[in-house]
Amino acid sequence: MTAPLPFAKRGTAETVETGTDFAPKFDKSGLILAIAVDATTNEVVMVAYMNADALAKTIASGEAWFWSRSRETLWQKGESSGNKLKLVEMRVDCDQDAILMKVTIAGDGVACHVGYRSCFYRTVPLGDEPTGERTLAFDKSMPRIEK
C-alpha cells in the first residue's frame, strides 16, 4: 500500500497558477526539476531531479535531497562530502513543475561533485553553427577545489 503524497491534489490551471495550494506536477517518471541557486548571489549552483519523497524530505529537513536517475535511489547532496545544501527559501514556478531552492553550501562551498562551486563551470561558444568540433571553455573565475 502506497502512502498518500503530502501535497495538495492538482486543480485547474487557474487554481494551480494563482492559488496557494502546493500541488507540484511530477513528470511521467514521477520527477520534478529542482534548481539550486546561491542564496546570496543567485548563481545557479546545480540542477537535479526530485521525486515526491525527496521533495517532502527536503521541505521537512531544510536540506536538499534528490532522486538519482542513474542509481534509482534517494540521495542527500553533501552526505559524503559535507557540502550539504541548506535551504534558505524554496519557490515553485507558475505551473508548479519546477522547484527553485535558494541555498547556502556547507563544507568547503562546492556544489559540484567534480570540485567546482557550481556545476556550470564551462561556457559554450556562441555565434557559429554547432559542429562536432565545438570546444568548451572553463570559467576562470571558478577554480576547481582539489581534495
Q: The CATH number of 29-119 is which of 3.10.20.810, 3.30.70.141, 2.60.40.10, 2.160.10.10?
A: 3.10.20.810
Judge if pTM exceeds 0.85. Answer: yes
Mean pLDDT per 10-residue interval, the chain, length 147 residues: 69 91 95 98 97 96 97 93 96 97 95 94 86 85 84
pLDDT at 2: 46
pLDDT at 147: 65
Write the DSSP string, 3-57: PPPSSPPP--HHHHHHSS-------TTS-EEEEEEETTT--EEEEEEE-HHHHHH
pLDDT at 5: 66
